[in-house]
Chains A and B, each alone.
Chain A
Amino acid sequence: DIQMTQSPSTLSASVGDRVTITCRASQSVSDLLAWYQQKPGKAPKLLIYRASSLNSGVPSRFSGSGSGTEFTLTISSLQPDDFATYYCQQFNTFSLTFGGGSKVEIK
């Protein structure tokens, strides 16, 4: 299986900050990488697919980039609603794998 590694595991930031989360794959997944946001007690929400395509209804402050084995999720100006845990997921193979998560906390 392809292993997905996210960093950092926890990030402390303030409203208005630019935030970047990294996801690395153990082998190339091309651009077949998605990002999800999850708030406590809630189901995850799809933010980005194909590494950089914004899902419908997702604010434009979210962006994704990368290909191959290294990907980033960027929040250009952190808003109060963005404090959550973020997960990457590769869909290059039929054995789907998620990263371990990156929690964005209030500084």
Chain B
Amino acid sequence: EVQLAESGGGLVQPGGSLRLSCAASGFTFNSHALGWVRQAPGKGLEWVSVISIRGDSTYYADSVKGRVTISRDNSKTTFYLQMNGLRAEDTAVYYCVKELVGVGGSYVFDYWGQGTLVTVSS
């Protein structure tokens, strides 16, 4: 059974940093791109970032580019989202996601974690 489990969310002051982790199991970790999608309270879904299978390609939404870094550790079957310079508008539930392979195009996500809440407030 595929499982994705986020951790690392919490309350942080504006300008602060946070590192989210996503522990994965139940699939061949190094055969899938992985990513993060967020959802502000009461709002819709917003894609944040994706990292390729080997980690040599990363993609970011314009809203977080330059402030966020995605990485993965294939030996630990865990991936991360390092967030710096946090702003109030980054407040959201952050979901880690796994790509569905073999469908063409860029990325579609067939498994999602349960989400971790990041609150940016003084």
Contacts and interface: CB of A to CB of B under 8 A. Distances in A.
- Asked if A and B bind, the verdict is yes
Chain B interface residue bracket vs A = 20 to 34
A87 B47 CA distance: 12
Given A43-B115, A55-B110, A98 B47 contact: yes
* Max chain B C-beta neighbours (<10 A), residue from A34, A53, A91, A93: A91
Interface string A79-107: 00000000101011111111111000000
B108 A99 contact: no
Interface residues of A, number: 27
B50 interface: yes
Nearest to A48: B108
Interface in B107-122: 107-110, 112-115
Contacts of B110: 46, 55
Interface of A: 1, 30, 32, 34, 36, 38, 43-46, 49-50, 53, 55, 87, 89, 91-101
Interface of B: 37, 44-47, 50, 59, 61-62, 95, 100, 103-110, 112-115
